[in-house]
């Protein structure tokens, strides 16, 4: 079992920055795929960024160049640095993990079996 707990959500203005953190406990392994997903009201949960155990990241087109995902395997912590925030970035952000041996971490939320409770990001103009 893996327990995930997000933090760092806040209310910011358009153009601002935030850093989300996700602390993992329980079974943790550098081979875990970890990712950030978000869900806005009335919308499906979507992948924002995910990262392999070796640090290889993948990003949604909507956040590429603005967001950076990273992980500290020694501290079992996942990060999401968000910059140049837009109104459409506002959502509940979730940390997720899955044991994965594939080429790249999956982007589909249904493939992840460990989830945090979420942290709210609000972006106002």
Q: What is the DSSP string of 62-123?
A: TTTTTEEEEEETTTTEEEEEE-S--GGG-EEEEEEEEE--SSS----GGG--EE---EEEEE
> Alpha-carbon distance 36 to 71, whole Å?
11
pLDDT of residue 60: 97
pLDDT of residue 30: 72
Q: What is the mean pLDDT of each run of 10 residues along the chain (125 residues)?
A: 96 98 86 94 97 92 97 93 98 95 89 97 95
pLDDT of residue 26: 87
| Nearest-10 Cα torsion for 80, 86, 90, 94 | -20
């Amino acid at each position: 079992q893996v327990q995930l707990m997000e933090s760092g959500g806040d209310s910011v203005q358009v153009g601002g920055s935030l850093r989300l953190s996700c602390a993992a406990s329980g079974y943790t392994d550098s081979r875990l795929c970890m990712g950030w997903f978000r869900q806005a009201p009335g919308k499906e949960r979507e992948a924002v960024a995910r990262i392999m155990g070796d640090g290889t990241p993948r990003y949604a087109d909507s956040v590429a160049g603005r967001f950076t995902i990273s992980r500290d395997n020694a501290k079992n912590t996942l990060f999401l640095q968000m910059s140049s925030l837009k109104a459409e970035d506002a959502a509940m952000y979730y940390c997720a993990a899955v044991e994965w041996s594939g080429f790249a971490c999956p982007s589909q939320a249904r493939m992840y079996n460990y989830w945090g409770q979420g942290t709210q990001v609000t972006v106002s103009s």
